[in-house]
Chains A and B, each alone.
Chain A
Amino acid sequence: MDNILLNVNNLHASINGKEILKGINLTIRQGEVHAIMGPNGSGKSTLSAVLTGNPSFTVTEGSVDFHGKDLLSLSPEDRSHEGLFLSFQYPVEIPGVSMVNFMRAAINAKRKYLNEEPLSASDFLKLMRQKRAIVELDNKLASRSVNEGFSGGEKKRNEIFQMAMLEPLLSILDETDSGLDIDALRIVAEGVNKLKSQENATIVITHYQRLLDYIKPDFVHILYKGRIVMTGGPELALELEKTGYDWIKQKYND
């Protein structure tokens, strides 16, 4: 198959000398939705941080191929330009930087990378308007500083709005459901589903089955102690919902 988007091979990573990822193998094809589940501290967020190039983590072994590119050799911004997007578990507030300026800088940096002309002001605002509608994001939020004073739900919607603006090939949604009430969850999930296509793919990192009712995964992986210990279909998530993680811990705890 030639439509492999991401291929993670024996990935090891550590922070401050402590190994968190201990040999991750993962293959994602275009059009697929993968859920990664697992108890707290198993390395789910570390995986998303390492894939996006967070400088806090050091890769000690392994490789990651992203549609033919050696992902680990790219800077965080180039990974973004190549089509990798992370919806942050805790979106960062940036006082003094307006959403408009932030988004324009991001869009035009990507266009520059792709040797395209910068967007005109009117085209840019039109694009903002279109994409805002996908997650029902208030126009007022777009004129404020990035995430500053946004509610938990607004922050997560803002993440999906940015995802819509940047049209990534691979999106990682890190605990996008945390802190969301049921209405916000629905809006966010619908936004993600609208952005789904045959070309792109999504990794959904979550503790709970709840989000997977809205965003249907093709594969469910269980991450535990820095390794993917089990892979299955959507039924695996349902089973976890019933039984919890204890049996996983017992089975792999040694």
Chain B
Amino acid sequence: MSSITQYLNLYRDNRADVHSHSVELLNESRDDAYAFLQDKSLPDKGEEGFEKTSIEDMFSPDFGVNICRLNIPVDVAASFKCDVPNISTLLGVVVNDMFVPTATLLKNCPEGVTMMSLSRAAKEQPEFVGRYLGKISPKDNVNVALNTLLLQDGVFIHIGRGVKLEKPLQIVNIFNSPAPMMSVRRVVIVAEEGSSANILFCDHTQTRDIDYLSSEVFEVSLAENSHISICGIEESSNHTRRYQQVFVRQESGSNLYINSSSLQNGTTRNDFTIDIVGEHCETYLTGIAIADGEGTVDNNSNVNHLAPHSHSNQLFKYLVDGKAQGAFEGGIYVAQTAPFTEGYQSNSNLLASTTARMHTKPQLLIYNDEVKCSHGASTGQLDENALFYMQQRGIPKDVARTLLMQAFMSEVIDTIPVEGVKDRMRHLVEKRLSGDFMLCGECGSCK
């Protein structure tokens, strides 16, 4: 029996409750998703694109789904402080499966910018949200359909035409629940023509010994000449599983930067599908993974060049320790309709223990002669010569190791376009790497 069956049964048995606690726009796709999923199963380990991570296994435990939308009281301000030094942000918080606006957000959201609960937006402006919801993610994707079937809430971000948002938007995702839980979130980001915004997502788990599963689908559309940066920093727990699928559509002249960094986690799988449908687009997709214990970080990218004269760059770096496992499958696809494409990809990895594992699979599919494309992947250990050089100067070996690991990650950190976020990432990576790598002491999740 595929683990999908339990979710189908859950929906079948509780359809009325699911619908009555949600809104029309979200409900109207559920039955189609239900029908589509009947004879389907989730991808299992070894299937094409899922060599190292089984979504089937990830979803197989019986996590609770908060169908009746009970409000689990969490005093966000008291228990959690996500400080971004040197910048102030417009902050929204998603607790488990519910968007909680902060007072400052409601007060300070400038003209032309919407950042709010997806389900509330769907209720209040169904026609407006309906223009974007479900339009970019493919309906025939099993994981997307499952997300559609049980979708609870998430974030709706709309940047109006020509609006240049100075302040970064920040979404903090928090898991906090006394019992195991699955949350089904969707994030819809719309950048209208000529707009620009920087968006930061921070994932945290507060109750660290509870099992969580997060199903997230991002739908991001960049209209002509828009600029969007999205940075995601995951610092959850080793009991947290996350399957995040990011779908992007880029129109002509748009500029996208994505950084996805897993600094602490249990099992994480991220899919990035970026369709470049317009000319002269810029796409930067980057990521950091620091995995230890029995953790897994698996990134899968498909950057699809469908129109001429666009430029994409992918850079992912992993540091894998303990018995952890890293995986990267990166794809660049250049269609026949996309001459003069430049597409680059690089993945380098450090293995810090003999039991750590890394799987990397760069792929180029090019159907056109007028392109510049490259890919490179390397996996190795810390440079022994550099370590000895530093020790000779009196730097203790563990400090030298930390400095080298930080230096390894700095190539990725340096690409982050928002100074405050860059500083924060550098600080978090430093904090993560200093001290005992296996026992960070910060969270207690490894105890």
Which residues of A are in contact with B by a Cβ distance under 8 Å? 52-56, 75-77, 79-81, 85-86, 88, 91-97, 101-102, 105-107, 109-110, 113, 145, 162, 166
B414 and chain A: residue at smallest CB distance: A96
Verify A80–B391 contact, CB threshold 8 A.
yes
From the candidates B390, B397, B399, B406, name the one contacting A75 in the complex (CB within 8 A).
Answer: B397
In the complex, chain B residues whose CB is within 8 Å of the CB of A113: 394
Contact A96/B393 with A102-B403, A109-B399 known, Cβ cut-off 8 Å: no
Verify A162–B383 contact, CB threshold 8 A.
no
Contact A94/B404 with A54-B388, A55-B388, A76-B388 known, Cβ cut-off 8 Å: yes
9 A–B contacts, CB within 8 A, in A order: A53-B392, A75-B391, A79-B392, A81-B394, A94-B386, A97-B403, A106-B393, A109-B394, A113-B394
Verify A92–B389 contact, CB threshold 8 A.
yes
Contact A109/B395 with A76-B388, A92-B389 known, Cβ cut-off 8 Å: yes
A75-B410 Cα distance, complex, nearest whole Å: 29
- A146 nearest CB across to chain B (Å): 8
A166-B395 Cα distance, complex, nearest whole Å: 12
In the complex, chain A residues whose CB is within 8 Å of the CB of B86: none
Tell me the number of A-to-B contacts counted with CB atoms below 8 Å: 77
A84 and chain B: residue at smallest CB distance: B392
From the candidates B389, B391, B397, name the one contacting A88 in the complex (CB within 8 A).
Answer: B389
Interface residues of B in 388-426 (CB under 8 A from A): 388-397, 399, 403-404, 406-408, 410-411
A95 and chain B: residue at smallest CB distance: B407
Verify A106–B394 contact, CB threshold 8 A.
yes
Verify B390–A94 contact, CB threshold 8 A.
yes
Verify B407–A94 contact, CB threshold 8 A.
yes
Verify B407–A97 contact, CB threshold 8 A.
yes
Verify A96–B389 contact, CB threshold 8 A.
no
In the complex, chain A residues whose CB is within 8 Å of the CB of B395: 77, 102, 105-106, 109
Contact A77/B403 with A54-B388, A92-B383, A96-B410 known, Cβ cut-off 8 Å: no
Q: Interface majority SS on B: helix, strand, loop or mixed?
A: helix
In the complex, chain A residues whose CB is within 8 Å of the CB of B408: 96
Contact A166/B404 with A55-B388, A92-B389 known, Cβ cut-off 8 Å: no
Contact A101/B403 with A96-B408, A96-B411, A113-B394 known, Cβ cut-off 8 Å: yes
- A161 nearest CB across to chain B (Å): 12
A85-B390 Cα distance, complex, nearest whole Å: 11
From the candidates B385, B394, B404, B407, name the one contacting A77 in the complex (CB within 8 A).
Answer: B394
From the candidates A56, A80, A105, A110, name the one contacting B392 in the complex (CB within 8 A).
Answer: A80
In the complex, chain A residues whose CB is within 8 Å of the CB of B403: 97, 101-102, 105
Verify B399–A92 contact, CB threshold 8 A.
no
In the complex, chain A residues whose CB is within 8 Å of the CB of B392: 52-53, 76-77, 79-80, 85-86, 88
A80-B394 Cα distance, complex, nearest whole Å: 5
In the complex, chain A residues whose CB is within 8 Å of the CB of B397: 75-77
From the candidates A55, A94, A96, A166, name the one contacting B394 in the complex (CB within 8 A).
Answer: A166
Verify A102–B393 contact, CB threshold 8 A.
yes
In the complex, chain A residues whose CB is within 8 Å of the CB of B391: 53, 75-77, 80
In the complex, chain A residues whose CB is within 8 Å of the CB of B385: 92
In the complex, chain A residues whose CB is within 8 Å of the CB of B386: 92-94
In the complex, chain A residues whose CB is within 8 Å of the CB of B383: 92, 94
Query: Top 4 nearest A-B pairs by Cβ distance?
Result: A96-B407, A80-B394, A76-B391, A92-B389
A105-B398 Cα distance, complex, nearest whole Å: 12
In the complex, chain B residues whose CB is within 8 Å of the CB of A101: 403
In the complex, chain A residues whose CB is within 8 Å of the CB of B394: 77, 80-81, 106-107, 109-110, 113, 166
In the complex, chain B residues whose CB is within 8 Å of the CB of A94: 383, 386, 389-390, 404, 407
A75-B400 Cα distance, complex, nearest whole Å: 14
From the candidates A53, A95, A102, name the one contacting B390 in the complex (CB within 8 A).
Answer: A102
B363-403: contact bitstring with A at CB < 8 Å (1 yes, 0 no)?
00000000000000000000111101111111111010001
- A26 nearest CB across to chain B (Å): 20
A13-B147 Cα distance, complex, nearest whole Å: 64
A105-B403, A106-B394 given; 5 more Cβ-contact pairs under 8 Å? A56-B384, A97-B403, A101-B403, A102-B390, A109-B399
In the complex, chain A residues whose CB is within 8 Å of the CB of B390: 94, 102, 105-106
- B406 nearest CB across to chain A (Å): 7
Verify A96–B396 contact, CB threshold 8 A.
no
- B396 nearest CB across to chain A (Å): 5
- A4 nearest CB across to chain B (Å): 23
In the complex, chain B residues whose CB is within 8 Å of the CB of A162: 393
